[in-house]
């Protein structure tokens, strides 16, 4: 393997889906939120992305079967909004800038192929203590204000590392709208509370009600 490649299981039939990304990162907030969204929507996996930029290990399941690290893409046709949801095992090393740009380029191309006009990324933001607050950054003042009116706090004068931030910048260059939702977390361990806060806020912002017991 000398370059990224996709393995597609089927082509989903979706109407202008919203692309939502949640990958491992600070407190694993984005990945937890993405898995909650997958469960909530009953989303089905339709593609996988493999790349030589992922770490050199395999994951081994309870039956002793190993597999390479990957990104997974799920499709969810819904009554209000269709979704394409991206999650995965890992991200490239933060030092490998070219890898991040190439993988994010592949992801943006897939989003465009499926007529996504809005990219939403989810992640964690370091705080001294974990709170249920959700912060927002966006590709336009209109989008930032729209999500602030739903209860998010503006994230300003900072950086958003990895695919969670880079996808927004690359989406903007391609003429797509982009929003990043960040859950406050200490980041010392996988923070399900922060992940649930981000997921619940996303659903509220898009007009869906979520029960606490999900």
Q: Which domains does the chain have, with CATH numbers?
A: 5-205 (3.40.50.10900)
In this prediction the pTM is 0.93
Question: How many other CB atoms are there within 10 angstroms of residue 159's CB atom?
Answer: 7
What's the mean pLDDT when you consider all of the chain? 92
Percent above pLDDT 70 for the chain: 96
Tell me the pLDDT tens digit for each residue of 48-101.
Answer: 999 999 999 999 999 999 999 999 999 999 888 899 999 999 999 888 999 999
φ, ψ at 78 (rounded to 5°): -125, 165
Q: How confident is the model at residue 183 (pLDDT cuts 50, 70, 90)?
A: very high
The C-alpha atoms of residue 178 and residue 143 are separated, in whole angstroms, by: 8
Residues 31-60 as b/e (b if ≥16 CB within 10 A, e otherwise) read bbbbbbbbebbebeebbbbbbebbeeeeee
Q: Which of 147, 130, 137 is nearest to 183 (CA)?
A: 130
- The tens digit of pLDDT for each residue in 4-52 reads 999 999 999 999 999 999 999 999 999 999 999 999 999 999 999 999 9
Give the helix/strand (H/E) hosting 153. Answer: strand 153-154
Cα-based distances in Å from 201 to 37, 52, 66, 208: 11, 35, 35, 9
Residue 150 CB contacts under 8 Å (≥ 6 apart), including other chains? 201, 204, 205
Question: How is 5-41 classified by DSSP, letter by letter?
Answer: EEEES-----SSPEEEEE-S-GGGHHHHHHHHHHHHH
By three-state DSSP, how is residue 75 classified? Answer: strand
105: number of CA atoms within 13 Å, CB side?
10
Q: Please state the three-class secondary structure of 78-123 as a single string.
A: CCCCCEEEEEECCCCCCCCHHHHHHHHHHHHHHHHHCCCCEEEEEE
């Amino acid at each position: 393997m000398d370059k990224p490649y996709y393995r597609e299981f089927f082509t989903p039939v979706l109407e202008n889906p919203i692309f939502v990304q949640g990958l491992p990162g600070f407190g694993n907030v984005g990945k937890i939120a993405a898995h909650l969204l997958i469960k909530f929507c009953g989303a089905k996996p339709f593609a996988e992305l493999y790349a030589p930029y992922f770490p050199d290990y395999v994951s081994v399941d309870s039956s002793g079967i190993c597999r390479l690290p990957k990104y997974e893409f799920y499709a969810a046709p819904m009554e209000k909004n269709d979704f394409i949801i991206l999650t995965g095992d890992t991200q490239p090393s933060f030092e490998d800038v070219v890898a991040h740009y190439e993988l994010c380029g592949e992801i943006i191309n897939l989003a465009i192929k499926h007529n996504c006009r809005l990219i939403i990324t989810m992640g964690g933001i370091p705080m001294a203590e974990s709170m249920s607050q959700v912060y927002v950054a966006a590709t336009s003042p209109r989008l930032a204000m729209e999500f602030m009116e739903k209860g998010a706090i503006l994230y300003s004068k900072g950086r958003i590392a990895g695919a969670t931030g880079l996808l927004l910048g690359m989406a903007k260059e391609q003429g797509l709208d982009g929003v990043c939702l960040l859950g406050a977390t200490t980041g010392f361990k996988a923070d399900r509370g922060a992940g649930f806060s981000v997921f619940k806020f996303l659903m509220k912002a898009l007009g869906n009600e979520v029960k606490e017991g999900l």
